[in-house]
Amino acid sequence: RAAAGGARGAGTGPASGRAARRRARARGTERTRSAMALRIVNAKHGITCHAWSPDRKRIAVCENSEKVIIYLNADQDKVNWIKEHELAAHDLVVSAIDWSPVHNKIVTCSHDRNAFVWTYSQGTWKASMAILRINRAALDVKWSPDGSKFAVASGAKVVPVCHYEGANDWWISKMIKKHKSTVTSVAWHPSSQLLATGSTDFRCRVFSAFINDIDHSTNTVFGDTGRTRFGDLLLEFEACNGWVEDVAWSPSGSTLAYIGHDSSVNFVSMANGSPQVQTLKSRDLPNSKVFFLSDNVVVAAGHSFNPEIYQNASGSWSFLGNLNQKGSGAGGMAVSRTYERFGKKVGSTERTWSHSRDDWAER
Amino acid sequence: EDDEEEEQQQQQQQPQVERMGEAAEVQARQREVAGLLQHGKHREAVKAALQNPPLGSHDQAVKDMNTEVVLNAICSASDSEIDKIVADLYHNSSPDLCDTLVKYIYKGLADRKYCGVLLKWHASAVNMAGLGPVVRAMTDRKTV
């Protein structure tokens, strides 16, 4: 499970599902509609995080250590994967990696309270330290969609948002405070001005991350950054009864999803200026990661080892099914009927998966 | 720590009327459940007992009384009825009722009452509703 093995995955991975099915079909062993899980990296101690390169040919993986390994030919069969580079700058385990398609820079953050920005030049990756000013571990890092900033979720109850200062050639941080406990995850609105955070104080919040010198303010349904300052709290959601494990924005920025440790998935959209929250309670163990495949399809995966798909049909979200379907009831007929039913529903979403993949490849 | 202080202040300020309202509601539920049990209607009794639990109430006596009502209803059902009742709760009622049922199962297990019966109910509930209600019983800060 290259994209979802072990614990955290910070990258985008539907590509692995499609490539895997192509391979399986070639081998004649395809199981229709069931996502193939291939053990590509046999990491004995788990994989903490990963990130795909913008062209999806490379993947940066942290195998639960202080080093990040970049594999080449990640879009091919596992026998062709080559270990290309090793990024070693951290002292403790790397908790998150993000690879920006805008300028091809990698940002990594670690439990050692540091974050490094890696730039590829002349055949190697060079690190430059970002001054985060936190006194606890960094847990999550994400580039803004326009590549100008990155935000770090930390156990220090603050979110440093770093941008590049050319005068001194370093990445300098501005702090978003107002959290009462560890911030577990951050997610950027497509406009690169709003930041959603999830925290272990049971709340999901949306902040303005507008930095005067480098941003143009935008007016979105979730808030107008022209009228607020950096770090202002725009919205706060308490629908969840457990730690907020992950947050994600839809590609158009119209919906915010966050998952909680009480096995719930919450969807927030704005209607007439006020937020509408829809909470779906799952029957399985809590999820750790949530991701929008398109504006209407969400996948969440976590402790029950079986990704869940949620779909928005006609305005309200509902649980569609699990990715690895087991036959319900005795007999092969029942199994194939289940696959067929699921396949018909998923059929429409498969197109969106490939559509999204092309989007990223273009960018 | 701030939250605890706030809660204590709220507890002192909570008007007597509110607490009496909660107690009255639980007593009414107790009577309703007793009536249903007399007529042998175990399924309806369990359903009625699980409605509107005093979640997060500051009155421990009210919570204890409600726990008594729920456990009484649960334990009066015979073993063969457990699966049917749980299936009925899961399919025909709001999903919150299953969550509440599992919360009271754990409350009873914690108080070391009726453990044998509760473990049978636990197995049936997890079989029907999955592990989600168990996770919510563990994480919900507003306890029954």
The residue behind tokens 């509110």 is: B18
Distance between B25 CA and the closest CA of chain A, angstroms: 25
Inter-residue contact A244 to A202 (CB < 8 Å): yes
Q: Is A77 on the interface with B (CB under 8 A)?
A: no
Dihedral pair phi/psi, residue A138, rounded to 5°: -95, 135
The segment with the largest mean pLDDT, out of A2-11, A37-46, A108-117, A223-232, is A108-117
Contact between residue A204 and residue A185 where contact means Cβ atoms under 8 Å apart = no
Q: Which of A180, A202, A285 sits opposite B135 (nearest CB)?
A: A285
Whole-number pLDDT of residue B8: 57
β-strand pairing of A170-176 with A124-131:
parallel
B99 against A14, higher pLDDT = B99
**Which residues face A131 on adjacent strands?**
A172
Listed by number, the residues of chain A in 264-283 with a beta carbon closer than 8 Å to a beta carbon of chain B are: 264, 281-283
Smallest Cβ–Cβ distance between A262 and the set B2, B95, B139 belongs to B139
Confidence tier at A79 by pLDDT (50, 70, 90): confident
Residues of B in contact with A201 (CB under 8 A): none
- Which carries the bigger pLDDT value, residue A354 or residue A155? A155
Strand boundaries in chain B, DSSP class E: none
Q: What is the mean pLDDT of chain A?
A: 80
> Three-state DSSP class for A260?
strand
What's the mean pLDDT in A131-136?
93
How do residues A86-133 score in pLDDT, each as one tens digit? 999 999 999 999 999 999 999 999 999 999 999 999 999 999 989 899
In this model, does residue A10 exceed pLDDT 70? no
| Cβ atoms of residues A3 and A15 within 8 Å | no
Q: What is residue A338's predicted lDDT score, i.e. its pLDDT?
A: 34
Q: Is the predicted pLDDT of residue A333 greater than 50, yes or no?
A: no
Q: Is the dihedral of CA B55, B61, B62, B63 positive or negative?
A: positive
What pLDDT band is residue A6 in, cutting at 50, 70 and 90? Answer: very low
* Cβ within 8 Å of residue A335, ≥6 positions away: A326, A327, A328
CA proximity to A299, closest of A343, A246, A335: A246
Q: Can you say whether the dihedral through the CA atoms of A282, A284, A285, A290 is positive or negative?
A: negative
How far A184 CA sits from the closest chain B CA (Å)? 17
pTM comes to: 0.77
Residues in chain B with pLDDT values less than 70: 1-19
Q: Which value, in Å, is the radius of gyration of the alpha carbons in chain A?
A: 20
Q: What percent of chain A has pLDDT over 90?
A: 58
pLDDT at A349 over 50: no
Query: pLDDT at position B96, please?
Result: 86
What are B's interface residues with A at a Cβ cutoff of 8 A?
2, 95, 99, 129-133, 135-136, 139-142
- Nearest CA to A226 out of A271, A234, B97, A132 is that of A234
Which residues lie across from A183 on neighbouring strands?
Answer: A199
pLDDT of A362 > 60? The answer is no
pLDDT at A35: 45
Distance CA A321, CA A235 (A): 30
Residue A253, Cα to own-chain centre: how many angstroms? Answer: 15
Distance set, CA A79 to CA A42, A54, A116 (Å): 12, 22, 30
pLDDT digits (tens, 9 = 90+) for A220-276: 888 887 888 899 999 999 888 899 999 999 999 999 999 999 999 999 998 888 899
Residues A195, A187: Cα–Cα separation, whole Å: 6
